Structures are given as C-alpha cells and as structure tokens.
Amino acid sequence: MNRLGRLAQLVGLSTIPLAGVFWRDWSDATALAFYWCETVLVIVFVALRLILHRRKTNKRGHYVETRTSVDGGPEKKGSTTYNVSFLTTATAFSFGNLVFLFALLGLFNDRVGGGEVDLHALGEGLAVAAVFVVVAFAIDLPGIGERPFAWARMTAEGALRRVFIIYLAIFIGVFCAIVLNLPHAMFTVFFGLKLFTDLMSNFKQYDPETPPNWMRRFVKDWPRYEKEWLAEKTTRLAREAADEGPYLGKPSPMPAVASIRR
C-alpha cells in the first residue's frame, strides 16, 4: 500500500472511536475496548501479510535463529520464523494490556470516568474498522511478492508500536485521572498517542550516517562512542542486507540469548 493509502487507513481507524465518543455517545470504556480489539485485528492481518510474504519471497529475514540456555548451561541453537516471534510478542503484550485495562477500570472506573462497555456500539465500530483493515490488506496483496523484507519488518514493528503505546497511554491516563483529577483523561491520552504513533509510522525512521553532533555534550569519550556507534550501524546494515537474500538453510542471527531458569 502506498504511503498516502496507509496514512488514510491509520487516520480512519483512529477517528472511529473519536466519532463514537462525540457523535454516538460512546462511553470511554467502550472506546478503550475498541482500541484493544482494533489492535488485535491489525495484528492478525499483519501476521497474514508476513505469511504470504514469506511464502512468495522466501527471504532469509523470515527465518530467525534462536539461542536458549537452560540454568546457565550451554546454548542450544534453533530457528523460528519472524512471524512466530512477532505473534508471540504481540499476543503476550496484548493480553497484558487487557489485564491492565480490566483491573484499572474495575478499581478506578468512577475516577477515570470509564462507564460501561456498550457491546452493540463496540460491534458497530469494529465492523467499520474491519472494512479499513481488509481493504488495506487487499491493496497490499497484488505486489506483496515484490516487496523487500524491510517492508515486512516495518509493518510488523508498526503493529507492535501500537501494542506498546497502549501501556504508555494506560499509565499516563490513569495518572492524569487519579492524581491530577482529570476525568476522561485516559481516552484523550489514548487518542492522542495512538494518532501520533500512526502518523509517525508513515515517515522514514531517523537514521543518520554518523552520530548527531548534539550528543557530544552528553558523552565523555566521544571518539570511542562514535567508533562503537558506527560499528553497530555497520553490523545492522549488513544484517539487513543479508535478510533480503534467499533463505538457504541458515536463519538470520539473533543477538539476544534467552535464559531459562527452573
């Protein structure tokens, strides 16, 4: 999907709960429930994109190396797909979001002005959201086999940012509502942060060729920092280039080591 189409989809999704609250008298709880359900809907269709892109391109980036160490023992290497890693992270954090929302609205509903969830209104809103998401998916389908893996990774990372922003919105919203006595602040924070995140996801990520000069005042050993910064970027760019090649049995390396404690 081109950038303008993607922007229209994201802005459209963000304005559904806004229209619901101001024109259809949705409660804040209904709007927050919509945000969570809409994010899950986006995650499902991002996962479908990743599956189709992997099958059509067989790019190396879709196969990720795993390393596990049990009780500090020797590392065991394995492999998984980028999609499995994406879904594992997204599912875990989305479930955590749901628990937080239930707990906070249950404990502080009167303070945050949440109200009751209107299931009928929620269903209507999700039906409209589904149209946006499905149309966007249909637009992506024709050329999905010609897209680079970087596109697949950017799409997945954009969906994860939407998941993570819910945590930030929850804590800022609850702080404003309870500590600053600003009812309905949670919905306002949700709308503002999600819209900002969606808009920023349409712009190219800031990635300078060298460390920004303004950082010099905060770094004591600048030559060493600059050398390490450039080395890290060179490694990252080399990995990204390798991810665009065909998968020949060797998955993309994963720097982090998972340690399992029993």
Half-sphere exposure of 2 (CA within 13 A, CB side): 2
Compute the mean pLDDT over every residue in the chain, rounded to the nearest whole number.
Answer: 81
CB contact set of 135 (below 8 Å; sequence gap of 6+): 9
pLDDT reported for residue 207: 78
| 116 or 114, greater pLDDT | 116
Report pLDDT for 256: 41
Residue 113 has pLDDT above 60, yes or no: no
Mean pLDDT confidence for 204-211: 78
What sign results for the dihedral spanned by CA atoms 16, 17, 20, 21?
A: negative
Instruction: Tell me what pLDDT residue 70 has.
Output: 67
Inter-residue contact 59 to 246 (CB < 8 Å): yes
Q: How far is the first Cα of the chain from the last one, in angstroms, to the nearest whole number?
A: 46
Least confident of 77-81, 99-103, 145-149, 218-222: 99-103
Bigger pLDDT: 4 vs 186: 186
Q: What is the dihedral of CA 112, 29, 168, 153, to 10 degrees?
A: -170
**What pLDDT shows up at residue 260?**
35
Q: What is the mean pLDDT of residues 98-125?
A: 75
Please list, in sequence order, all residues whose beta carbon lies within 8 angstroms of the beta carbon of residue 152, skipping any fewer than 6 positions away. 49, 50, 53, 54, 59, 61, 62, 82
Position 112 pLDDT exceeds 70 = no
Average pLDDT over residues 161-165: 83
Q: What does the pLDDT read at residue 53?
A: 97
pLDDT of 90 higher than 90 = yes
Asked if the model's pLDDT at residue 258 lies above 50, the reply is no
Which pLDDT band, with edges at 50, 70 and 90, does 107 fall under?
A: low
**108 pLDDT above the threshold of 70:** no
Q: 84 or 215: whose pLDDT is higher?
A: 84
Proportion of the chain above pLDDT 90, given as a percent: 24
